[in-house]
Structure 1
Amino acid sequence: MAKSTFLYVSVIRTTPEKLWSALTDGEFMKQYWFGSHCDSQWTAGSSWKMVNSDGKILVEGEIVESIRPKRLVIRWTRDSKPDFQDEVPSLCVMELEPVASAVKLTVTHSIEREPSKLIGEVSKGWPLIISNLKSLLETGSIALDESFKKSCG
């Protein structure tokens, strides 16, 4: 079966531990993820869910692999959007690699389907989220707020 993949790489001036914490701390996450956050125990086999600012579960799945502070793999098994019900599970792999005084974050989101509406959608979202994360860790404030997200549709 064909595979659809989205790859995003960012270099963030921080430490692997700080980046890992930012990726797994739900309260911190709300700052850069437009009010949404992910909830999990962050260990292999634990459940995982993405929750919006109103408390609605948007996506559910499980942690496939968790190697602090190097690698996090999440399988999305259920999406609340009807257009994406046939497009699960998908796999999101986050790899953290120290580079000098920074950390290279590689996000690879894939699904065993081509073409994929879900991968098209995450390819719009991940750059916004990671840009906010990078800005927050490096400067203390996000680059884009909720009004920007709403203007993008």
Structure 2
Amino acid sequence: MTRETTSFIYVTYILSTPEKVFEAITKPEVARRYWGHENVSDWKAGSTWKHIRANDERTVELVGKVMEVSPPSRLVITWANASQAADPASHSRVTFEIETYENMVRLTVTHDELEPGSGMDKGIRRGWPVVLSSLKSFLETGRGLDVFAKPKAA
């Protein structure tokens, strides 16, 4: 019996180039400026990648494998909490599709193979919108958003 999974898809349009969007996802020194984390890998199919908190502790929060890489248009990675890396059932998949759309880029992020209602499923549904909004702001204005901001109490 196959397990039930769910997916999350986010599409945004960015005044940038496919090369700059791809670089923003894969270059640690760029990702830290809008994400607060660095994505570290050699970005070759089969290689590992790590999502490292860009602070003094340098905590590895997420890990995975690079499944497919076609710069600057496509990147597919597996995704798991570092504490669950040894359990293949805890891994989900993220696909970044980057395409020219007139004078801008359409970025589609599909995060699938998620366990419905899991902590990871809930977390990415809150996380991806702010991270990708910060990416857009960073590429268009040079300033990312505070991805660690919390809603104000009513």
TM-score normalised per structure 1: 0.87
Say what the alpha-carbon RMSD is for the aligned residues. Answer: 2.0
Deviation of 1:94 after TM superposition, in Å, equals 0.5
Determine the structure 1 residue equivalent to 2:150: 151
Determine the structure 2 residue equivalent to 1:68: 71
Instruction: Indicate if the aligned counterparts of 2:53 and 2:61 stay in contact, CA closer than 8 A.
Output: yes
Deviations 1:97-136 (A, max 9, x none): 1100101000011125333321211111111111111011
Deviation of 1:89 after TM superposition, in Å, equals 0.9
Determine the structure 2 residue equivalent to 1:123: 125
Distance across 1 between alignment mates of 2:22 and 2:5: 28
Determine the structure 2 residue equivalent to 1:51: 52
Deviation of 1:13 after TM superposition, in Å, equals 0.6
Deviation of 1:81 after TM superposition, in Å, equals 5.6
Counterpart code for 1:129 = V
Deviation of 1:10 after TM superposition, in Å, equals 0.4
Determine the structure 1 residue equivalent to 2:7: 5
2:20 to 2, 18, 21: 18
Distance across 1 between alignment mates of 2:101 and 2:28: 26
Aligned-partner SS, 1:14:
coil
Distance across 1 between alignment mates of 2:149 and 2:8: 22
Work out the percentage of aligned pairs sharing the same amino acid: 36
List runs of 5+ in structure 1 lacking aligned partners.
none
- Specify whether residues 125 and 81 from structure 1 end up closer, same or farther in structure 2 by C-alpha distance, changes over 3 A only: farther
Deviations 1:64-119 (A, max 9, x none): 0001111100012x41467xx78611000100011001010000111253333212
List runs of 5+ in structure 2 lacking aligned partners.
none
Deviations 1:8-44 (A, max 9, x none): 10000111111111111101110100x2111001111
Matched, 1:139 2:141: yes
Aligned-partner SS, 1:115:
coil
Matched, 1:40 2:41: yes
